[in-house]
């Protein structure tokens, strides 16, 4: 039996659907806020150290590139490359999930491991290559694509394994959910949101987590530089242990 097959069996564990469903339910309650912190850290670190590239909110790079095209200035090729790389990374994660034949909590753990491995590789690459020293260079672009791939894995995790969870990386939807939920609370007699709408506390938790990740990175990035990637990598490792 190959090493990969043995590792896959370790993820599969005993086949107990009831226990798996209970564990998945706990993960759905505990993971999103932590994943939001990771996404905030990755997005903010990439923006500060890799030439103003959004590595979580990847479509924002199209706006930045369009602004450069209109107003002039230095163009960063990686800003446009984030979109196809994000799509390719999503497709790769889908293939990994399909090949694993895992579902529920086991699939969550596998994709959390993939996210951690990408961020750990990004940390090692950043420490060795120092891409922040030339934010417009190809080393910085490579680091940005690794960060984008990690965020693609997080997106895919939520869509494939924690279905129904709202985004932990793009906050526009969470902000909209929070405001609309507050309006419904203020209008008890005539609420407009469906009963199964995302609870206010979930949206606020993701918003707070993402903001916390951004604030922490903003506070330390000037001192830590490329070592700042150790923060999301450490939290990604901790996320694997969430049960």
On whether residue 63 sits in a domain, the answer given is yes
Confidence at residue 103, expressed as pLDDT on a 0 to 100 scale:
86
Per-residue confidence (pLDDT) for residue 18, from 0 to 100: 65
For 116-151, b where at least 16 C-beta lie within 10 A, e where not — what string? bebbbebbebbeebebbeebebebbbbbbbbbbbbb
**Position 185 in a domain:** no
Residue 180 belongs to some domain of the structure: no
Write the DSSP assignment of 8-30 as a string of letters.
HHHHH-S--HHHHHHHHHHHHHH
pLDDT at 242: 86
Is residue 42 one of the residues assigned to a domain?
yes
Q: Supply the range of the domain harboring residue 50.
A: 26-169+209-240
pLDDT along the chain (243 residues), means of 10: 47 60 80 94 96 89 80 76 94 96 91 97 98 94 97 92 73 81 78 68 87 96 96 97 85
Q: Cα(27)–Cα(133) distance, rounded to whole angstroms?
A: 38
Those residues with Cβ within 8 angstroms of residue 60's Cβ, 6 or more apart along the chain or in another chain: 54
d(CA 65, CA 74): 10
47 is a domain residue:
yes
Look at residue 20 in the predicted model and tell me its pLDDT. 72
Quick one: pLDDT at residue 15?
A: 52
**In-domain check, residue 178:** no
Q: CATH no. for residue 124?
A: 1.20.1250
The structural domain count of the chain equals: 1
**pTM (2 decimals)?**
0.85
Residue 196 lies in a domain: no
Inside any domain, residue 13:
no
């Amino acid at each position: 039996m190959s090493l990969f097959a043995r590792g896959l069996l370790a993820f599969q564990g005993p086949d107990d659907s009831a226990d798996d469903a209970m564990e998945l339910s706990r993960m759905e309650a505990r993971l999103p806020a932590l994943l939001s912190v990771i996404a905030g850290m990755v997005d903010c670190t990439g923006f500060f150290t890799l030439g103003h590239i959004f590595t979580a909110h990847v479509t924002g790079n199209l706006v930045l590139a369009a602004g450069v095209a209109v107003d002039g200035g230095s163009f960063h090729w990686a800003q446009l490359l984030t979109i196809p790389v994000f799509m390719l990374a999503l497709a790769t994660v889908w293939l990994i999930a399909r090949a694993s034949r895992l579902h529920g909590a086991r699939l969550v753990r596998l994709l959390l491991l993939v996210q951690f491995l990408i961020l750990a590789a990004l940390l090692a690459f950043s420490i060795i290559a120092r891409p922040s020293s030339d934010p417009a260079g190809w080393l910085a672009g490579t680091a940005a694509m690794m960060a984008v791939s990690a965020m693609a894995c997080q997106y895919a995790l939520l869509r494939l394994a924690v279905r129904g969870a709202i985004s932990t990386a793009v906050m526009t939807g969470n902000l909209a959910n929070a405001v609309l939920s507050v309006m419904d609370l203020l209008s008890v007699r005539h609420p407009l949101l469906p009963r199964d709408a995302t609870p206010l506390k979930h949206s606020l938790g993701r918003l707070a987590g993402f903001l916390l990740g951004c604030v922490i990175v903003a506070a330390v990035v000037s001192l830590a530089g490329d070592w700042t990637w150790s923060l999301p990598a450490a939290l990604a490792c901790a996320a694997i242990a969430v049960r």
